[in-house]
Amino acid sequence: QQTQSPLPLHPFTPPGTCPIPFDDDSPASEAAGLPWTSAPYCLTPRSVGSAQKFCLYTAAAYNLGAGLSVLTTPDAAASLAAAVADPSPAWHARDHLAVGGVLGREQEARVGYKVVNVRGKGMGVVATRLIKKFETVMVSLPAVLVDNEFLPAEEEEAPAEGAKFWKRVEGVGDWARVDRLARSREGANVVEDVVRTNAFGVRVLDREGKGLYPEIARLNHACDPNAFPRFTRSDLAMRAVATRDILPGEEITISYIPLGMPTTHRLRSLANWGFNCTCALCTAPAAARDASDARRHRLVEVYYAMQEEGVSYADLVELTREFVETVEVERLDTKVGEYYQAFMRIYYNAGDAESALKYARLGLKYAEAFADPEGGFCQGFRADLRFLEAQRKSK
């Protein structure tokens, strides 16, 4: 009898759920079983020449009454319905519902952090105990999810109809949780200001959008952060995962921009966030910044050199050693999954299947810690690893 290997985490819709798009034209009877607590408010943003209908869906009971507003297409909303109806029983979610935004002592001890004023940055989050590398520091469920067609990076490209949506988001669920967040601008709509200051990129049904996670939103930016925000599609949660050990009293930080860029690129990217970065790397002496920049440029060179045609195996090994050492110095742990997946291919093509397997195993560990375990990247990586393992067995 044939035995089957265990299936990896699957990307499919859970059995028994068949998401049917629901909008303002749908019969009310189809709302049964959906998590939305008011009728969807829909419009087609013709001001930007769009023919796509967008609706505002609200789930006031979501996350123990904290509430959720989703501004997206009926298809994308349908794909979210199961996760919204059954939010993950995140062990920290309850602790985040702090009265007035302040955690009690007991809550603080349980969650391992507290929200405090941080000089030059407004509020921020500091560790109240030792947090180990790979540990999940914080789990946050969204208060607002909005499609990028309504929130383009260039404000002039935003549809004029957006204002009608933004106003309706005010007051949903525990509104104070959103209202007391930082604002780096004063536009026409409070919600838009809060979302533009605090939200992170999320992807729902192949559509790019932004998610506002009020607890994660208290984490300040650092160019050399000690935590990483990881979005998981299956439960819509954003988790902050420690990228190294964090000591009690240390500020917990994440990067608002892709990691690994040299100073000039970083500053350009951070300009979109509308604040002057006062993180340790940005305020480090010029010599330290230059040295870090030089290492980051060298990483790119080494990466390409490793893939050059005709590179000798001995050179490949030497370049790999230099790359791994530099990644360690620059503390780019969250990118190790991506790098090692590339090494896996390079070593496989160089005829060294054993090293390819080693990098696949190590890389997958990092990928699963810092990327969505059910997302395409991890799925593809698992398939690569299975292939390499099967090949070794067959020898």
Residues binding ligand SAM (CB under 6 A): 120-124, 181-182, 184, 197-198, 217-218, 220-222, 273-275, 277-279
58 vs 220 by CB, closer to ligand SAM:
220
Minimum Å gap between C-beta 213 and ligand SAM is: 10
| H helix runs in the chain, sequence order | 62-65, 74-85, 93-96, 105-111, 162-169, 176-179, 190-198, 263-271, 286-306, 313-329, 336-349, 353-370, 376-393
185 vs 321 by CB, closer to ligand SAM:
185
Minimum Å gap between C-beta 292 and ligand SAM is: 16
Tokens 């050990």 identify what position?
245
* Residue nearest ligand SAM, Cβ-based: 122
Q: Which DSSP category does 131 fall into?
A: B
Q: Provide long-range contacts, Cβ within 8 A and 24+ apart, for 323-327.
A: 323/299, 326/295, 326/298, 326/299, 326/302, 327/299
Minimum Å gap between C-beta 61 and ligand SAM is: 26
Please name every residue paired with 124 in a beta bridge, in sequence order, or none if there are none.
116
121 vs 244 by CB, closer to ligand SAM:
121
Minimum Å gap between C-beta 240 and ligand SAM is: 12
Are 131 and 225 in contact, with CB atoms under 8 Å apart? no
Minimum Å gap between C-beta 123 and ligand SAM is: 3
Minimum Å gap between C-beta 364 and ligand SAM is: 31
**Cα–Cα distances in angstroms (integers) from residue 170 to residues 39, 60, 96, 192, in the given order:** 16, 12, 20, 10
Q: Which DSSP category does 10 fall into?
A: P
How far apart are alpha carbons 277 and 311 in whole angstroms?
Answer: 41
Are 168 and 57 in contact, with CB atoms under 8 Å apart? no
123 vs 350 by CB, closer to ligand SAM:
123
104 vs 274 by CB, closer to ligand SAM:
274
How far apart are alpha carbons 384 and 306 in whole angstroms?
Answer: 20
Minimum Å gap between C-beta 111 and ligand SAM is: 17
Are 81 and 34 in contact, with CB atoms under 8 Å apart? yes
Neighbours of 120 (CB within 10 A): 13
Minimum Å gap between C-beta 199 and ligand SAM is: 8
